[in-house]
Structure 1
Amino acid sequence: MEKSKEVSIKAFEALLKEVNLSPKPGLVDRLNNGSHSDMTLTTFYDSAEAIFPFFEGYFLLGQNHKGTALELFEKVRNLGAKAEKEMMKATQNINTHKGANFSFAVILASIGNYYQKTSKVELLETDIEEILNYTKEMCAGLASRDFKQLEKKENLTNGEKLFLKKGIKGVRGEAESGYESLRDNLLPSLRKYRLLEEEERFLRGFVDLMSDVEDSNIYHRGGEEGILYLKTEAKKIQQLDISKAELISHLKELDEKMIAKNLSPGGSADLLALGIFLFSLEKVN
């Protein structure tokens, strides 16, 4: 199988693994719809299927690119806008994977660009580091460009409102940093839990992620109080020496509390999908 197809399929599988992972506090999963009255598991399946055909295109843009990283970003963003339209059409204008589509687009393009220079079948941790560094180059200055003159704009997105109010950059900030949350938190956690079976590995990695990430979706719904609440609750679970069954029990309890507070860590869910994807590309040492 061509590398572009192989990598794209792994990205698609990561989206499906993320949404099916259960329980995820406040999020759509196999158990319930979390804090989302407008989304179901089927909505996410439809959304993932709508953007999947674009994944190979993102990879190939990177693989065939000869210019600067910023020039590649513009190419990828244009294709990503088309994918987003297909996603919104498939979900009847429900925003399921807008942030994920953006991040998978730039990371897949970065991976494609990396494969210009290597014949490796599997990637090492150092290769993933280089891929994320190139993603950082692609997205340099993104927030300042996108958020310029927002005061004059009439219809603001949630992300734009948060930036004006709190200076929170959301997914753009993650991209500008070369996905620090993946590099410094989630991927090290998944590597640490490598010997656990897949579901438990991802659940424990997600707890570690929630305990540390400034999730813009949480800010939008619950402000700083919501962020502090999620981080505190996740850290409590993180610090327990518990079995998988006990972990699931604690996550179900937190799920009920998050739903009662109408909180949903959607930004963390997107990062989880990206982490699952990048981890699937790494060679097991």
Structure 2
Amino acid sequence: MNALAQPALPVTRRVDSARLGRLAIASLHAELACAPKPGLVTPFDTGSHDDMDAGTFLRSLFALRHYFTAVASAGADDAPFALLRAHGIAAEHAMLRATGGINTHRGAIFSLGLLVAAAARCRRLQGHPAPAAQVCVAVQHWADDFAAAPLDASSPGQRARLRHGVPGVREQAAAGYPVLRELAVPTLRHALHNGLPRDAAMCQTLMQLVAQVDDLNLLHRGGAEGLAWAQQQARAFLERGGAFAPGWQAGLHGIGDGFVARRLSAGGSADLLACSWFLLQQEVA
């Protein structure tokens, strides 16, 4: 067991796993609905993708609706990582069946699944929702086990990770998701508290992630040069005021044209955006 593991779970505190599962699906839907998102699929365009659209994502979400409830139940029961992984593998198969073999949510199945399980475990221990940062750190309860689990060396993300020597979501999870605790969640919380509506706050958070994260999807599609270009575009958008600036949507559409021309898509950042929305919503649910 990881050194940061928490004490044995009490048997008297019940967790509404179905509610956490619905929050997870709603968070993925919020990410899909958010627009404009450079290079990413929205309800209005397919971004840099020619093999998927919003309908593909909706079919995937429908296929995953039971997974997040199941993984929440497993987390609340202090299940071993092997059970969480089995749920994740089954969910990936369901996703691929629903999408005709297209990977829409593999990263979210891992990261959001772990966070849902951790949120459920924290609730069982404490009897109430945990702050977002605590949920991130609680993922380390399973760190020894998922660090040792086999990787799919053939996946585009893993190939990019090995080629460029950058950490992936597994390393982020083992560290308690510092990118969520220190960057994404604070950015999203600040944007919402300062009056931005949901889509604007999410776009602001997405561009902070693109600016600062070595997104494996960007590396896979554009190499180091493509990643650097995308990060520079995101930083320039933020320096102009980001989603707080008048006319920010037009600026983001212009950046999106450049992403599409270069076939770039920040899918890893999009997964982290959905995780950030879930972490905030579960605090008050």
- Provide the rounded CA distance (Å) in 2 between the counterparts of 1:16 and 1:213: 22
1:1-285 equivalent positions in 2, closer than 5 A? 3-65=16-78, 72-120=80-128, 122-123=129-130, 127-140=131-144, 142-143=146-147, 146=150, 156-194=154-192, 195-241=195-241, 243=244, 245-283=246-284
Question: Does the CA-based 8 Å contact 1:200-1:244 persist in structure 2?
Answer: no
- Provide the rounded CA distance (Å) in 1 between the counterparts of 2:144 and 2:223: 27
Partner of 1:262, secondary structure, is coil
Question: Does the CA-based 8 Å contact 2:15-2:124 persist in structure 1?
Answer: no
Q: CA RMSD in A?
A: 2.1
Question: Does the CA-based 8 Å contact 2:161-2:216 persist in structure 1?
Answer: no
Instruction: Compute the TM-score of the two structures, normalised by the length of structure 2.
Output: 0.88
Counterpart of 1:69 in structure 2 is none
Cα 1:98–1:7 change in 2 (3 A) is same
Q: Could you list the per-position Cα deviations for residues 129-166 of structure 1 after superposition, in whole angstroms to 9, with x for gaps in the alignment?
A: 2221121231347456535xx9xxxx722233223322
Amino acid of the residue matched to residue 26 of structure 2?
E
Amino acid of the residue matched to residue 139 of structure 1?
A
- Provide the rounded CA distance (Å) in 2 between the counterparts of 1:245 and 1:78: 47
Q: Could you list the per-position Cα deviations for residues 27-64 of structure 1 after superposition, in whole angstroms to 9, with x for gaps in the alignment?
A: 00122101100000000000011111111110110111
- Provide the rounded CA distance (Å) in 1 between the counterparts of 2:141 and 2:203: 31
Partner of 1:217, secondary structure, is helix
- Provide the rounded CA distance (Å) in 2 between the counterparts of 1:264 and 1:79: 27
Cα 1:159–1:200 change in 2 (3 A) is closer
Cα 1:213–1:92 change in 2 (3 A) is same
- Provide the rounded CA distance (Å) in 1 between the counterparts of 2:93 and 2:75: 22
Cα 1:272–1:136 change in 2 (3 A) is same
Question: Does the CA-based 8 Å contact 2:15-2:120 persist in structure 1?
Answer: no
Cα 1:140–1:169 change in 2 (3 A) is farther
Cα 1:209–1:164 change in 2 (3 A) is closer
Counterpart of 2:11 in structure 1 is none
Question: Does the CA-based 8 Å contact 1:159-1:169 persist in structure 2?
Answer: no
Question: Does the CA-based 8 Å contact 2:81-2:146 persist in structure 1?
Answer: no
Cα 1:47–1:92 change in 2 (3 A) is same
- Provide the rounded CA distance (Å) in 1 between the counterparts of 2:133 and 2:89: 27
- Provide the rounded CA distance (Å) in 1 between the counterparts of 2:84 and 2:224: 33
Amino acid of the residue matched to residue 53 of structure 1?
H
Question: Does the CA-based 8 Å contact 2:57-2:104 persist in structure 1?
Answer: yes
Note the C-alpha offset of 1:282.
2.6
Amino acid of the residue matched to residue 259 of structure 1?
V
Note the C-alpha offset of 1:170.
2.0
Q: Could you list the per-position Cα deviations for residues 239-260 of structure 1 after superposition, in whole angstroms to 9, with x for gaps in the alignment?
A: 1136565111111001100000
Amino acid of the residue matched to residue 117 of structure 1?
L
What is the count of residue pairs matched by the alignment? 269
**Any unmatched runs of 5+ in structure 2?**
1-13
Question: Does the CA-based 8 Å contact 1:73-1:106 persist in structure 2?
Answer: no
Cα 1:162–1:143 change in 2 (3 A) is farther
Identity of aligned residues (%): 30
- Provide the rounded CA distance (Å) in 2 between the counterparts of 1:63 and 1:33: 37
Stretch moving more, 198-207 or 163-172:
163-172
Question: Does the CA-based 8 Å contact 1:143-1:169 persist in structure 2?
Answer: no
